[in-house]
Amino acid sequence: MRKIILIFLFTFAFALNHLANSNSEYLLEHASNPVEWYPWNKEAFEKAKKENRLIFVSIGYSTCHWCHVMLKESFTDKKVAKILNKYYVSIKVDKEQNPGIDRYYQEMAKKLYGHYIGWPLNIIMTPEKQVIYITGYIPKNDIFSKKGLLTLLPYFAKEWQKNPKKVIELNLKLQQKQKKLKNTSNLLEYTQKELIKNFDFTYGGFKGLHKFPEYNKFKLLLDIYLLKKNKKFLKMLDLTLSNIARSGMIDQIEGGFFRYTVYDDFSIPHFEKMLYSNALMINIYSQTYKYFQNPLYKTTVLNAINWFEKYFKSKDGLFYAASSADSPNEGDYFVFSKEEIFKALKNIPNKKEILDYINFDEDGNFEENKNHIYFKFTKAPKNLDKFLKNLKKIRKNHKFPFIDKKEILSWNTMMASAYFRASVFDKRYILKGEKLIESIYKNLYKNGNFYHYKIKNILSQQANLEDYAYLLRALIDAYEYTFNKKYLKKADLIAKYIWKFYKNGKFYFDEFPATLNEKSYPSAVSIAIASLLDLYSLNNDFSNYEKTKSILEKMPADFEYAMLLDDKLKIKYNTFIIKNKNPNINLIIYYPFYLFKKTNSKNYQICTIYSCLKTLKEKEVEKFFKTLKY
């Protein structure tokens, strides 16, 4: 009997792998696998070197769905275990226990694939930790075009035994894919190629599951046009802005941009209206108008501003955050029944022409046989304005959507910048921008601290990096449109706040590290860097300019981070400071990176932070920039 017990104990001990003594729930889930798992430790890597084996690393966590799938499907499978145990040293990592390891390899995967892989993250590497393959979930068997473990593991093992140099070359290829763009010409070429590759030449905008009003990429189109003087990029931008202006992305009855559309042609939106997306779109339409004076841009901007001033402006001078898509159902306030549309057409002779123009569908182009109004052609029919005014009256009977009355610092500063840019249409917007900044200081600043937002007269959460970055941007814009030095003094103080968020070589959003993600709008990091560079250029602060520049140079050049890419172009080609006793900000500068500064100079001095290059008369300034080409 004693002999039987000893045999059982010996067998049970042998069945447990090197994870048995782990204090990680995730690793313990794999402790009884037939795979001879090791934790991430010196012993595992020494074994790989000594026996000249490849290393298989699998990173996950205890509540990960696809980690559990791989556990049941593959890591309990004897065929998979036999291959791993014979040819590999297998390492299991709990990403919650060792986040540093996980983040390092997740970042590597992101550089290869353009997005984070998630979990489980599976890696094959050489005994010297040279990564030769990295991916997410791997099925046991091949599924469609995805290779399974029973195909991948024998393939790499065989190649490592037969031709290790070939396997190491795979690592070199991965390193090349991760190589950052350092060369100026490569950076510009890369940007142009990415803009063209991702652009929708049928409807405008950029390809994706949904179409968002992507200010960051629209701004990049404008800046590349101004750098290269290549009208192709301006035409791409105009196609986008013009199509959006006639589309379902816009509330054609009252004005304003919806959050995004679900179709490539911008026809049917998600009916939320966000302060940030409207502020940024007002900004890009206004900037582009200087170079392409499409009257549609002006109408779009003025209607958006009017809508937000009517519905989102609070008594304290700030703007609310957002309005709901539901009222009570999706889009109810914004869409119309067939009966309502025909009622609005009463006494209008060219009914059929208008119905065709607005994409009217007898069965509705939206849910419950309702119609969302958007325009089919570029030329509007007669009586369209009358028809839209009639619909506006009818809409008063619809329930207005819920408004989230949070007054957010960063989003209000975006609106302040939008006001300054919109002064290309009406100079009175400069004063409105100044008043909005005054309201921000009056309502979101207390006892030496800025606050992230206010709701029902209660301040909540101290301001974060994004708040300060966009506030700095608005203060620089305020200076350029007024030349009041008080805004530069305020900007200097805000810059000091921003540097408090930079610790140990990286920016923090609040207590968490700041990401470069800009899915909704440009990241806090990209705006902070761009604004700091501009401030130091205006102040001729060479030391801080170089400090900011050196931080930016270490960051990735990736189309996914379009605004950061724009920042990199800025330091490659320099920011020009246009100095004069009374600068004319209405000058059309055919260059993307420039600032106006008031000085004692009677003529215009064209300078960078490094030196002054030209002294010109006003009529020569536009010509000078028009001849610059890269």
**pLDDT given at position 5:** 40
pLDDT grade for 97, boundaries at 50, 70 and 90: low
* CB contact at 8 A, 84 and 31: no
pLDDT grade for 8, boundaries at 50, 70 and 90: very low
Q: What domains can be seen in the chain, in order of their start residue?
A: 2-178 (3.40.30.10), 186-326+404-572 (1.50.10.10), 338-397 (no CATH), 574-627 (no CATH)
Q: How far apart are CA 526 and CA 517, in angstroms?
A: 10
Q: How far apart are CA 492 and CA 507, in angstroms?
A: 18
Place of tokens 């024998």: 154
**pTM for the whole thing?**
0.73
440 burial via Cβ count (<10 Å: 0-12, 13-18, 19+): buried
Amino acid at 535: L
The DSSP symbol for 199 reads B
Give the count of beta carbons closer than 10 Å to the beta carbon of residue 362.
Answer: 8
pLDDT grade for 519, boundaries at 50, 70 and 90: low
- Checking if the pLDDT of 4 tops 80, the result is no
Amino acid at 242: S
> Going by C-beta distance under 8 Å and a sequence separation of 6 or more, which residues neighbour residue 190?
181, 557, 559
**pLDDT given at position 603:** 96
Inter-CA distances, 470 with 16, 115, 404, 539, Å: 55, 26, 21, 19
Q: How far apart are CA 23 and CA 34, in angstroms?
A: 20
pLDDT (mean) for 578-586: 96
593 burial via Cβ count (<10 Å: 0-12, 13-18, 19+): buried
Per residue in 14-27, pLDDT (tens digit) is 458 999 988 666 88
Q: What percent of the residues of the chain are helix, what percent strand, and what percent coil, each to the nearest 5? A: 50, 15, 35
Q: Give strand ranges (E) for 166-302.
A: 260-261, 269-270, 273-274
Tokens matching residue 334: 């914004």
pLDDT (mean) for 226-251: 97
CA-wise closest residue to 80 among 20, 33, 119: 33
pLDDT (mean) for 567-594: 96
Q: Say which range, 143-147, 350-354, 398-402, 523-527, has the weakest mean pLDDT.
A: 143-147
Percent above pLDDT 70 for the chain: 93
**pLDDT given at position 10:** 38
Inter-CA distances, 367 with 212, 263, 364, Å: 21, 15, 7
pLDDT grade for 257, boundaries at 50, 70 and 90: very high
pLDDT grade for 1, boundaries at 50, 70 and 90: very low
**pLDDT given at position 262:** 85
Give the count of beta carbons closer than 10 Å to the beta carbon of residue 460.
Answer: 11
Place of tokens 């996914």: 560
**pLDDT given at position 326:** 82
Q: How far apart are CA 484 and CA 598, in angstroms?
A: 9
**First and final C-alpha spacing in the chain:** 87
Tokens matching residue 294: 């499409």
